Structure 1
């Protein structure tokens, strides 16, 4: 599996997110081992991830990672939509925005950058909703022929 498309907040995060992850497909069992392998091992062994059922409807209860099994917890909480919590027990955790695999590359790049900004105050659902509104506004401008003559 290629390296994950991931951007983490440098240093200590002060916002609700610690970065963003842009998986290539919706198969968590294929994507998760690469994500886990790219995280800082000093934080500890990943023991559990929490994902929202809307983004990952058919996720298994466990996923194999190198040398261990990761428990997968599903949640229906709106506050955790479009996010994954990567938990290392009592040692540490990451809260990451999950960018939909079919997101256009330009929009995904902006989301990766915004979510990893240490000053970002937005949750995963809020940052994704704002990006969707921006894309909708851009598409409406294009369909109307854009700006008028100069």
Structure 2
């Protein structure tokens, strides 16, 4: 069984102060519900580092998996500064940056407290590599860490800027890093 792809578009308010409409679809690929439990539940490839522009589309897409999204947690160094709360199609979503959350991840929490962790493919990753990472992260048997998935697909993170990829030629399994302790409890129901 392959992962599930979501390419929805949203229709956010376009009034003054509202975020710009989502450009194109949300580039998201999720593991099947019957997949082996791993470090991530899928992967997302945003188009920028701007949470106000990118998170609304993710919130809409993830509501199919976690119910109405109430919170998006992210690694603070991976994203531009943003408001602590966004309104997406009439519901309030808390947006919180944590310095100890794994780099290149977001955790999406629904109103029923269901959480899913996504690998975030750096926005400026070339298309072919990004699609390979999406497929790898959403593979039904994938249990690799975020760093292992990125490195095995030819992306090495520049730790000075965290979410900026540096494409390298490497063998799968090279350059593995120790995973930080998980600070957000995840559950599958």
TM-score (norm 1): 0.81
Aligned length: 137
Give structure 2 stretches of 5+ with no counterpart: 1-21, 157-165, 171-189
**Aligned: 1:50 with 2:82:** no
Counterpart selection for 2:103 from 69, 74, 81: 81
Q: 1:118 — aligned with what?
A: 140
From 126, 130, 141, the equivalent of 1:108 is: 130
Cα distance, 1:125–1:59 mapped onto 2, change above 3 Å: farther
Q: Which moved more, 1:96-105 or 1:129-138?
A: 129-138
Q: Which has the larger radius of gyration?
A: 1
Q: State the distance in 1 between where 2:130 and 2:169 align.
A: 17
Q: Conserved in 1, the CA contact under 8 Å of 2:84 and 2:94?
A: yes
Measured in 2, the distance between the counterparts of 1:43 and 1:60 equals 22
Give the Cα–Cα distance (whole angstroms) in 2 for the partners of residues 35 and 106 of structure 1.
21
Match for residue 168 of structure 2? 136
Q: Residue in 1 aligned with 2:180? A: none
**Structure with the higher helix share, 1 or 2:** 1
